[in-house]
């Protein structure tokens, strides 16, 4: 197993090696990567500004705002800017977190403990449309909360509020809506969900992780946007990422509460040990001030004028893609995107093959699996850098389809489906796992695991599996992937 080198190595040599290690990564800048990374389209200048701010606070420790008061000031500033953006009135409070997942986890933790205190609930449940982000399932899993999922309308992909009403039980603590949902980019009927929550004395969380920042600009630019923020009565908490469409470096999100009496349950203090007194707002204790300082700096630098300009180009790019896809017979936009996220499905071509062909043409577009009536599709997160690329993207979609189409429309191989149906996730053994990996092009006969260049094989397998089996396979895969270097 690799050890710490006996003699320290030089800076030049190490940075050369880091570049080499990174050579197969996706591009993070320039707009050819349509998920995971977000480029404002401001060129090197904005990246440099963010990096300067990040580095200047890299070594501060947000563990204790009494010794680093700068971080308290920056956090309260960023939370205020985020809350105003979401039309929050007086009394709204919140915290800076490392990402959407942490914001959502904090909201569920606070909601759980608030419901325990105020209503005596010991077996909490949340009602979650199937389009809500996986982070809610993760939070529920970590915090012992039961998830009750509800269907969505399969034309609009929006939450079915009647189904949510029927799912409420005496143990329900919270209803959830998305603004927008990641998969289809639509805003759930938030006013109706929030009213339902209010009438039943429940909390209502709106997940604005990806849509919350850009939607107010789209509204201002005249696009139709369903109301989703603190202006809606009954919304009790919100999550909004800054490291997506506020274009701040990764590790930046906010969680906001209408009422500090709920947020109080997010905080954790411990005086019952022999060391320093611990009082934490979020999961982490020791954490760098870099991401917070960078968020503060980027938000203040871009300002409403900068963000409006970026949103204008993003909206134009989104509309150009939607109308361009209209002319491509083999792809269909799912629902009516309200922000800048687009899902493309097909009856005539295997979308996972299209993803692979696009990769060969130097684009990353993201495969999404079929689930509960939402068939497998291709996801695009449009950014401020997208607009000039749209004609090329559309042209290359046509080329990719021309290559993928002869392989047929189906993603499922009948023999594979039969194999999958014979597997019980609870008793999956090494042999059947190895067989599946080979079928998905993920491993050699020697049991070595590799991340493949082409993902259509593995996507097809996961797409044909019931969710529990897919989850088991993914865990087994990662449990073999993360092993110490030889
Ligand atoms: C990205 C996203 C999240 C999770 O955020 P991370 O920053 O990746 O942890 C949650 N909800 C929605 C709608 C998202 O798009």
How far, in Å, are 154, 415, 418, 471 from residue 464 at the CA level? 20, 11, 10, 12
208 CA closest ligand 1 atom index: 13
CA distance linking residue 71 with residue 78, whole number of Å = 10
CA of 206 to the centre of ligand 1 (A): 12
Judge whether 252 lies within some domain.
Answer: yes
- H or E segment and range at residue 167: helix 161-167
Residues 205, 163 within the same domain: yes
CA distance linking residue 436 with residue 433, whole number of Å = 5
pLDDT digits (tens, 9 = 90+) for 310-342: 999 999 999 999 999 999 999 999 999 999 999
Tell me which of 210, 251, 254 to substitute to probe ligand 1's pocket, judged by most ligand atoms within 8 Å of the beta carbon: 210
The per-residue pLDDT for 445 is 57
CA of 7 to the centre of ligand 1 (A): 42
CA of 203 to the centre of ligand 1 (A): 20
Judge whether 20 lies within some domain.
Answer: no
Asked whether 228 and 215 are in contact (CB, 8 A), the reply is yes
How far, in Å, are 33, 59, 273 from residue 366 at the CA level? 9, 35, 47
**Domain extent for 118:** 55-297
Residue finishing a domain among 243, 263, 297: 297
Asked whether 355 and 366 are in contact (CB, 8 A), the reply is yes
Residues 128, 247 within the same domain: yes
Residue finishing a domain among 378, 406, 434: 406
CA distance linking residue 255 with residue 99, whole number of Å = 9
CA distance linking residue 254 with residue 242, whole number of Å = 7
| CATH for 96 | 3.40.640.10
- Verify cis geometry, omega within 30 degrees of 0, for the bond prior to 180: yes
CA distance linking residue 29 with residue 49, whole number of Å = 15
Residues 146, 75 within the same domain: yes
Residue whose CA lies nearest to ligand 1 atom number 8: 100
Residues 389, 431 within the same domain: no
Residue whose CA lies nearest to ligand 1 atom number 12: 209
Residues 427, 377 within the same domain: no
Residues 317, 273 within the same domain: no
What is the pTM for the complete model shown? 0.96
CA of 394 to the centre of ligand 1 (A): 27
Q: Ligand 1: residues within 6 Å at CB?
A: 99-101, 133, 135, 178, 182, 207, 209-210, 241, 253
Cα(first)–Cα(last) distance of the chain, in Å? 4
Tell me which of 100, 212, 240 to substitute to probe ligand 1's pocket, judged by most ligand atoms within 8 Å of the beta carbon: 100
Sign of CA dihedral 289, 291, 295, 298: positive
253 CA closest ligand 1 atom index: 7
Residues 452, 475 within the same domain: yes
CA of 463 to the centre of ligand 1 (A): 21
98 CA closest ligand 1 atom index: 7
CA proximity to 299, closest of 70, 53, 108? 53
- Structure tokens belonging to residue 307: 């963000």
Judge whether 104 lies within some domain.
Answer: yes
- H or E segment and range at residue 113: helix 100-119
CA distance linking residue 95 with residue 266, whole number of Å = 10
CA of 101 to the centre of ligand 1 (A): 6
- Structure tokens belonging to residue 480: 């073999």
Residue whose CA lies nearest to ligand 1 atom number 3: 100
Q: Which residues, in sequence order, are CB contacts of 54 under 8 Å at separation 6+? A: 249, 290, 291, 293, 294
The per-residue pLDDT for 412 is 80
100 CA closest ligand 1 atom index: 5
Judge whether 88 lies within some domain.
Answer: yes
User: Digits of tens for pLDDT over the chain (486 positions)?
Assistant: 999 999 999 999 999 999 999 998 988 999 999 999 999 999 999 999 999 999 999 999 999 889 999 999 999 999 999 999 999 999 999 999 999 999 999 999 999 999 999 999 999 999 999 999 999 999 999 999 999 999 999 999 999 999 999 999 999 999 999 999 999 999 999 999 999 999 999 999 999 999 999 999 999 999 999 999 999 999 999 999 999 999 999 999 999 999 999 999 999 999 999 999 999 999 999 999 999 999 999 999 999 999 999 999 999 999 999 999 999 999 999 999 999 999 999 999 999 999 999 999 999 999 999 999 999 999 999 999 999 999 999 999 999 999 999 998 888 888 878 888 888 888 888 887 777 777 776 766 566 777 777 889 889 889 988 899 889 989 988 998 999 999
Residue whose CA lies nearest to ligand 1 atom number 4: 100
Residues 209, 235 within the same domain: yes
CA distance linking residue 350 with residue 340, whole number of Å = 24
Asked whether 281 and 64 are in contact (CB, 8 A), the reply is no
Judge whether 178 lies within some domain.
Answer: yes
CA of 366 to the centre of ligand 1 (A): 15
102 CA closest ligand 1 atom index: 9
- Beta bridge mates, 198: none
| CATH for 374 | 3.90.1150.10
- Structure tokens belonging to residue 269: 């203090």
pLDDT digits (tens, 9 = 90+) for 92-107: 999 999 999 999 999 9
Locate all alpha helices (DSSP H) within 174-289, ordered by sequence: 190-199, 215-220, 260-263
Residues 186, 230 within the same domain: yes
132 CA closest ligand 1 atom index: 13
The count of domains in the chain is: 3
Residue whose CA lies nearest to ligand 1 atom number 6: 100
Tell me which of 103, 135, 138, 366 to substitute to probe ligand 1's pocket, judged by most ligand atoms within 8 Å of the beta carbon: 135
104 CA closest ligand 1 atom index: 10
The per-residue pLDDT for 299 is 98
Q: Which residues, in sequence order, are CB contacts of 482 under 8 Å at separation 6+? A: none
Residues 120, 242 within the same domain: yes
CA distance linking residue 292 with residue 146, whole number of Å = 33
Judge whether 193 lies within some domain.
Answer: yes
Judge whether 50 lies within some domain.
Answer: no
CA of 178 to the centre of ligand 1 (A): 11
Residues 391, 418 within the same domain: no
CA distance linking residue 347 with residue 345, whole number of Å = 7
Residue finishing a domain among 245, 269, 297: 297
Q: Which of left, alpha, beta for 91 (phi over 0: left; psi -120 to 50: alpha)?
A: left
Q: Which residues, in sequence order, are CB contacts of 234 under 8 Å at separation 6+? A: 191, 193, 194, 195, 196, 197, 198, 204
Q: Which residues, in sequence order, are CB contacts of 279 under 8 Å at separation 6+? A: 267, 268, 269, 270
Judge whether 18 lies within some domain.
Answer: no
CA of 47 to the centre of ligand 1 (A): 22
Residues 147, 279 within the same domain: yes
């Amino acid at each position: 197993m690799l050890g710490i080198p006996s003699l320290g190595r030089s800076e030049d040599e190490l940075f050369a090696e880091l570049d080499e290690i990174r050579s197969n990564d996706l591009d993070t800048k320039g707009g050819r990567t349509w998920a995971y990374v977000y480029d404002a389209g401001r060129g090197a200048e904005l990246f440099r500004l963010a990096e300067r701010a990040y580095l200047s606070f890299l070594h501060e420790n947000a563990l204790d705002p009494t010794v680093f008061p700068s971080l308290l000031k920056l956090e309260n500033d960023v939370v205020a800017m985020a809350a105003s953006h979401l039309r929050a009135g007086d009394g709204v409070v919140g915290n800076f977190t490392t990402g959407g997942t942490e914001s959502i986890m904090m909201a569920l933790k606070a909601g759980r403990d608030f419901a325990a205190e105020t209503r005596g609930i010991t077996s909490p449940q949340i009602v979650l449309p199937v389009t809500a982000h996986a982070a809610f399932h993760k939070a529920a899993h970590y915090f012992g909360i039961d998830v009750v999922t509800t269907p969505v309308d399969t034309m609009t992909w929006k939450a079915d509020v009647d189904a949510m009403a029927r799912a409420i039980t005496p143990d329900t603590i919270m209803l959830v809506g998305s603004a927008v949902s990641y998969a289809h980019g639509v805003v759930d009927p938030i006013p109706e969900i929030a009213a339902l929550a209010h009438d039943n004395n429940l909390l209502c969380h709106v997940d604005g992780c990806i849509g919350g920042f850009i939607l107010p600009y789209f509204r201002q630019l005249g696009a139709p946007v369903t109301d989703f923020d603190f202006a809606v009565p009954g919304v009790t908490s919100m999550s909004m990422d800054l490291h997506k469409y506020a274009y701040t470096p990764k590790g930046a999100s906010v969680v906001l509460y209408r009422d500090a009496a709920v947020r109080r349950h997010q905080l954790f203090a411990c005086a019952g040990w022999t060391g320093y007194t611990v009082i934490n707002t979020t999961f982490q204790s020791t954490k760098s001030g870099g991401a917070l300082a960078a968020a503060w700096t980027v938000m203040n630098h871009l300002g409403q004028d900068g963000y409006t300009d970026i949103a204008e180009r993003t909206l134009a790019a989104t509309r150009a893609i939607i109308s361009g896809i209209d002319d491509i017979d083999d792809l269909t936009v799912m629902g009516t995107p309200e922000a800048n996220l687009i899902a493309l499905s097909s009856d005539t071509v295997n979308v996972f093959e299209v993803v692979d062909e696009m990769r060969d043409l130097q684009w990353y577009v993201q495969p999404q699996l079929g689930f509960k009536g939402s068939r497998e599709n291709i996801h695009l997160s449009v950014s401020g850098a997208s607009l000039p690329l749209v004609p090329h993207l559309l042209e290359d979609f046509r080329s990719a389809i021309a290559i993928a189409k002869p392989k047929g429309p189906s993603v499922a191989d009948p023999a594979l489906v039969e194999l999958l149906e014979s597997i019980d996730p609870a008793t999956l053994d090494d042999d059947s796992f190895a067989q599946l990996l080979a079928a998905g092009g993920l491993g050699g006969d020697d049991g070595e695991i590799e991340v493949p260049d082409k993902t259509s094989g593995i996507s097809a397998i996961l797409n044909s599996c019931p969710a529990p089996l897919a989850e088991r396979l993914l865990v087994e895969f990662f449990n073999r992937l993360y092993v110490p270097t030889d």
